Amino acid sequence: MKIGFYNIQGGTGKTTIAANMAYYLSDRIKTVYLDCDIYGGTGALLFGLEDNPNTLNAYLTEKCDFNDIIHEYKNLSVVVCDTTPNAFDTDTDQKKFLEVIKTLEKDYDVIILDLPPNITEGNILFSSESVLKKMIVVAEDSIPGIANTLKTIELLNALNLEIMGIIVNKDRNIVDFEGILNEDDILAILPYDKKVEYQWLEGVPIIEKRSSFGKELTFLADELSETYIEKDLATLRALKIAKEFRSSIIGGNDEADDNNDNENNFKF
């Protein structure tokens, strides 16, 4: 199962929420966090990997092997991007990028994709091979933040991507967003918390610490796990068992069947 975190606006807290949620889920489900922002990704800072040369950028430019870019942070697998100016030397190879996601999908139950805010041609959102099915929009409690969230929702709808809901981040009672956004679409309202800033300096996810933000994010992760993830994974596992059983009796091309079933029946 793949879940993308997105907003066309930068600085809403996508990385904070995506990375912390991935970390929390990894205690119960085999999870990988993938920083997809090859030019401006900051996920490496959160996991103390900013000095590690084995990044997604390095793999896309053939400077390291695939297995080298998968790092472990406790129970969570992490793929991060180059945080130095050298990141701008990376040519966007969308096909190879998509292969990374497909390869990870074979080994992990959940892939958390931290998507870049840009809407350029190289963004995997616009791939002809739609690998993203479920999206969470991360909004910021500000007038520009809510305005850009509405634009983001319009874009994702135009791309026929399922929006699981909206997380309103950095709530400081600035905007009456509940009067603008559909209340049924709001998954959670996360408070502004100064402690969140320190996670970047310490290289420790905020969800490990006692904070109002971490507490609310934990509740959200539990709810998403029970409502969406466990249900969808059970369906996928049942499908896999059925395919293996069918293959053992009548044979067939499992890979072709997988592709057909994923396209026709299950939109994850």
Instruction: Quote the percentage of the chain above a pLDDT of 90.
Output: 61
Domains of the chain: 2-264 (3.40.50.300)
Please report the pLDDT score of residue 227 as a whole number: 77
Strands 76-79 and 71-73: antiparallel
In this predicted structure, what is the pLDDT of residue 266?
34
In the chain, the N- to C-terminal Cα span, in Å, equals 6
Sheet hosting strand 110-114, strand order edge to edge:
71-73, 76-79, 31-35, 110-114, 2-6, 134-140, 162-171, 186-191
Q: What average pLDDT does the structure give for the chain?
A: 85
Alpha-carbon distances of 239 from 111, 243, 246, 257, rounded to whole Å: 19, 6, 11, 11
Once rounded to an integer, what is the mean pLDDT over residues 204-210?
A: 87
Q: Nearest Cα to 118, choosing from 6, 33, 253, 15?
A: 6
Q: How far apart are CA 55 and CA 61, in angstroms?
A: 10
pLDDT in tens, 211-264: 889 898 999 888 888 876 666 655 545 545 555 545 556 555 544 444 544 444
Angle formed by the axes of helices 212-224 and 195-202, nearest 10°: 80
Q: How many CB atoms lie within 10 A of CB 134?
A: 19
Band of residue 175 on the pLDDT scale cut at 50, 70, 90: very high
**The pLDDT value given to residue 204:** 87
Q: Which amino acid is at 38?
A: I
Tell me which of 80-84, 132-136, 186-190 is least confident: 132-136
Q: Model's pTM, two decimal places? A: 0.84
Q: How far apart are CA 63 and CA 147, in angstroms?
A: 40
User: DSSP labels for 188-214?
Assistant: EEEEP-THHHHHHHHT--GGGS--HHH
Phi, psi of 76 (to 5 degrees): -95, 135
pLDDT of 19 higher than 60: yes
Q: How far apart are CA 119 and CA 173, in angstroms?
A: 29
Model pLDDT, residue 260: 47
Instruction: Tell me, letter by letter, the H, E, C secondary structure of 238-263.
Output: HHHHHHHHHHHHHCCCHHHHHHHHHH
Give dist(CA 268, CA 135) in Å, integer: 10
Confidence of residue 202 (pLDDT cuts 50, 70, 90): confident
Residue 128 has pLDDT above 50, yes or no: yes
43-94 per-position pLDDT tens digit = 999 999 999 999 999 999 999 999 999 999 999 999 999 999 999 999 878 8
